[in-house]
Structure formats: structure tokens, C-alpha cells
Amino acid sequence: MTDVNPTIPRPPADETRPYSGPGRDEGHAVAKNNHGSDHGQEGPFKDLEPIGTGKAILFAAIFVVMFAVLFVLGFIPRHNARGEAEKEVADVANDKPVVGVARPKPPTVFPTLEVPGDAQAFQITSIYPRASGYLKRRLVDIGDVVKEGQLLAEIDTPEVEAQLNAAKAQLQLANATGTKAKDDYDLAEATYQRYENFAKTGGVTQQQLDEKRSAFTSAKSTLAGAEASVRAGEAEVQRLTALIGFTQITAPFAGTITTRGYDVGALLSANNGGGRELFQIAQIDTLRVFVDVPQSYATFMKIGQPVRFAVSNYPGKIFDGFIARTSGSINQASRTMRVEADFPNKEGLLYPGMYGTLKYEARQKMEDLVIPSSALVFGAEGMRVAVVDEQDKVRFQKITVGADLGVEVQVSHGLKGGERIVANPGERLVDGLAVKVIEKADDKPASAQATPEKKPTDAQKPVTAEAAAR
């Protein structure tokens, strides 16, 4: 049977498949979707092609090569740096230690002693009210210069004045009672004597004599009591009178008022240290400077020797004074001696409490050699120093240390002078160790110092290119 329309080409048999969807007509075929998979799966994408074995090996090889290159680039520099460091360490370990040396200095005078100190007023005291009352007048204030005995303030004490008037009245009463007691005593004494004379002749009985004797004894006791009352009254009047005298506050010595504690009208209570002071007065025309002197200088401190004092408030200015007194003993805790130096302060430039530096020139010639304190080696063998011999080898020498001068110490035994002493010995130094020596020119002996060359004259100086150009 032939096709009805032979002009329409029919698709090949392998490119058609039966349609199984809705509205399927028997005998019709639907063209195969070219976008689907080879397995008949519908969809718009194709599956990725599998990677071949050759490509996988190539990628792995590239990764291994890159890792090896990075490893080599990081390992080789670190390996070389480590080798150089080990080489430097080995060179340093095998190299001779370098040491600086210093030579003992010949005997000289003690260096100037400089110690810190505080300036204090020559005298300073706090004035407290001795009478209770109200501050009636205040005649001075802070900074005023006063004279000895000058009136500073007055206190109003009405209660004390009333007590004084009462005490005076009691004293008058006691005097009157005492006068009557004295008259009674005199009468009793005269009567007893008469009765005693009459008793000898039998003019009075023994009973009458005993009564007169008892009356005389009673009058004597009454008189003693009256006299005691008078003395007590007088003492009370004197006490209150003294309190009235305390209402006037006067300066105990000439000085400057440094503190004022109350204003006019303040209620004051008689105390001493229980409250604020009314005034504080200081004598500042002469100041005291207390310092602690090291033991090595203690024996050179003589009373009357001149000293100097400097404070930062006056750069370059020196205040002259003298040693006034010393404690005469060494403090076992600090190994220092307390020294007081007095400085005239007529101009008032120095203030109490100023901090400064006291300078003292011992002017005492030393007899022992002097070496740096850093050269000392402490150990079980005692005090030693490291001496470099002529072969540049270290030899430890035992010494006896004298006075401690701070950065330097005296050596009384163990050194002859001229030795090369290691200034800062370390733990690596041992007896017999070879070292390299560095010595300052000023520490070399005079014979070893180079003779200074003569400076060439202008005619002998070589002409440089810059000079020629000029």
C-alpha cells in the first residue's frame, strides 16, 4: 500500500519512537528529542563526559611538581640560615672572650661626697590654747614675721574670770576663818597655861585642868585646818590667775608664722595635741639639713667643717654651711651616720622642707689603690679580682677591700699597682682562660701610651681634591 502524499518524506525508522502520552493515535510516531540523553532521558542538558586516565595522571604530576618546588624554595633558605647560625655559634664558642680591663689608680684624695638631704627649720613648734574660751583677737597670720614675746592673739574666758572671782571670795572667807581660829587658839593656850600653874598650887582640880587642855588641843587643830583652807584658796586663785594669763598668746621665739588654725570667734578648748594648733611658728633664719653619711666617710666628719647645699630651685647657686653636730654612731641597718649641717638663711631663699643635695669635700688623702667596684668577684674563696697576665690569660687574685667609695673601692692588700684588672668579669671567666684585651688609652701606663704625633704644618699637609678645587 502506497503513501497518500508521496511528496512528504517520512522520517527514518530508527529516528521515530511510539508516543505513549495522552492523545496518542495509533499508527503515529513522534520524532526523537535530540537534546535528550542517549539512554532516552528527557531534559535540556547533556551529561559530562568522564575524565580520562591520562588527564588524571597529568594533573597529579603537576601538583607533585608544584609542591616539590615550593618545598625546595622554603627549605633551602632556612637550611642555609640555620647552618650559618650554627657556624657563628661555633665560631663564638671557639673564639676568645673579649674583656675590658682597668688599672688600679694610685692613692689620691677622697672624692666629693654628695648625699640627698631635707632642709628643716632650726626651731619649729605648735602653739595650742591653754585656756578655754572664744578667740577674741587674732593679731598675726600666715607668713608674718614675729619677735620673741610678741602678742599673737587674745582669748575671751568669761567662765574662768567668774571662777577667779569665786576663788578670791573663798580665799577671803578662809582668811577670816583663819583669823578667828588663831584668836581662839591664843585664848585656849593662855587659859591652859594659867590652869596649869594653878594646878601646881592646888588652886584648880585635875578635872578643870584636863578640860582646858582639851580646849587648847581643839583650838590648835581648828587653826591648822583654817590655815590649810587659806593655802588651798591661795593656790586656786593662783591657778585661775595663770589661766587668765593664758588668754594672751605670745610668741615663744622669733620666727615666721607658718600655720593659723582658727579665726576670730572660734570656740577654743584647753588641750595640747587633742585638736588643731592655734598657730605654728618656725625659725627659718637658719636651716638645718640632716643627711645620712656612709660609713667610709663617717670618720672624716668633723664639727665646724664647711659643706655646701644645692637645690633645683636655684640652678648653679650654692649655699654655704658647716657641720653642726653628728650622731657619733653608725646605724647598723643602713651603715650610715646621721649628720646635721646648719646653713644661714638671712635672705630667706631656702624654705623648710626643700629637698636638695649636700656636698662635702673630705680633703683626706687616701693611702690605698682604687679599683672599680664592678671588678669585684664574690665567692667562697673570698673577695677576688680577675687579673690578665702578660700572656693574656686570666688569673684570679685575692684582695682585701678597704673603704667603699660607691663606684670605686679601696684595696688595702693584694695589688701592687699596674695590673690589668677585668672591669666586668662574667661567669665564663675561669683561671687560665685566654682572652682578648680591650684597654682604654687613659688606663694604660705612661710608658705604654703612644707619643702624640706632631701635627703637620700647612705646607706639609697633603692637598685634597676639594682643597685644590677651592
Domain count, the chain: 3
Determine, yes or no, domain membership for 168. Answer: yes
pLDDT at 87 (0 to 100): 67
User: Does residue 182 share a domain with residue 90?
Assistant: no
User: Does residue 139 share a domain with residue 204?
Assistant: yes
Strand 151-156's sheet: what is its strand order? 248-250, 151-156, 133-138, 267-268
Between residues 44 and 209, the one the model is more confident about: 209
Contact in structure between 423 and 377 (CB atoms under 8 Å)? no
pLDDT at 88 (0 to 100): 64
Instruction: Read off the C-alpha cell for 398.
Output: 685575692
Q: How many helices (H) and strands (E) does the chain have?
A: 5, 23
| Strands (E) located in 261-376 | 267-268, 279-294, 306-311, 319-326, 336-344, 355-360, 369-372
Reported as a pLDDT band with limits 50, 70 and 90, residue 108 is: low
Reported as a pLDDT band with limits 50, 70 and 90, residue 464 is: very low
Handedness of CA 165, 168, 173, 174 (dihedral sign): positive
- The structure's pTM equals 0.50
pLDDT at 256 (0 to 100): 93
Section 161-180 average pLDDT: 88
Q: Does pLDDT of 23 surpass 60?
A: no
pLDDT at 62 (0 to 100): 84
Determine, yes or no, domain membership for 393. Answer: yes
- 234-243, 279-288, 353-362, 457-466 — most confident range: 279-288
The domain that contains 398 carries what CATH number? Answer: 2.40.420.20
User: Does residue 244 share a domain with residue 172?
Assistant: yes
User: Does residue 439 share a domain with residue 383?
Assistant: yes
Section 155-171 average pLDDT: 87
Determine, yes or no, domain membership for 235. Answer: yes
The domain that contains 199 carries what CATH number? Answer: 1.10.287.470
The position carrying cell 601538583 is: 63
Reported as a pLDDT band with limits 50, 70 and 90, residue 381 is: confident
For residue 153, the number of C-alpha atoms closer than 13 Å in the C-beta half-sphere is 28
Instruction: Read off the C-alpha cell for 408.
Output: 670605686
Mean pLDDT of the chain: 78
Contact in structure between 415 and 369 (CB atoms under 8 Å)? yes
Backbone angles phi, psi at 297, to 5 degrees: -100, -5
Range of the domain at 189: 129-250
Instruction: Read off the C-alpha cell for 236.
Output: 586656786
Using DSSP's 3-state secondary structure scheme, residue 290 falls into: strand
Q: Does pLDDT of 31 surpass 60?
A: no
| C-alpha–C-alpha distance, residues 319 and 344, integer Å | 8
Determine, yes or no, domain membership for 43. Answer: no
pLDDT tens string 290-302: 999 888 788 888 8
Backbone angles phi, psi at 21, to 5 degrees: -80, -175
Determine, yes or no, domain membership for 172. Answer: yes
Section 205-228 average pLDDT: 86
Q: Does pLDDT of 80 surpass 70?
A: yes
pLDDT at 372 (0 to 100): 87
Reported as a pLDDT band with limits 50, 70 and 90, residue 325 is: very high
User: Does residue 151 share a domain with residue 91?
Assistant: no
Q: Does pLDDT of 470 surpass 70?
A: no
Determine, yes or no, domain membership for 37. Answer: no
Reported as a pLDDT band with limits 50, 70 and 90, residue 72 is: confident
Residues whose CB falls within 8 Å of the CB of residue 441, separated by 6 or more in sequence, listed in order: 449, 450
User: Does residue 217 share a domain with residue 137?
Assistant: yes
Q: How many angstroms separate the most distant Cα atoms in the chain?
A: 214
User: Does residue 90 share a domain with residue 137?
Assistant: no
User: Does residue 238 share a domain with residue 142?
Assistant: yes
Determine, yes or no, domain membership for 459. Answer: no
Between residues 92 and 279, the one the model is more confident about: 279
For residue 150, the number of C-alpha atoms closer than 13 Å in the C-beta half-sphere is 15
pLDDT at 93 (0 to 100): 56
| C-alpha–C-alpha distance, residues 296 and 313, integer Å | 30
User: Does residue 212 share a domain with residue 139?
Assistant: yes
Using DSSP's 3-state secondary structure scheme, residue 50 falls into: coil
Determine, yes or no, domain membership for 327. Answer: no
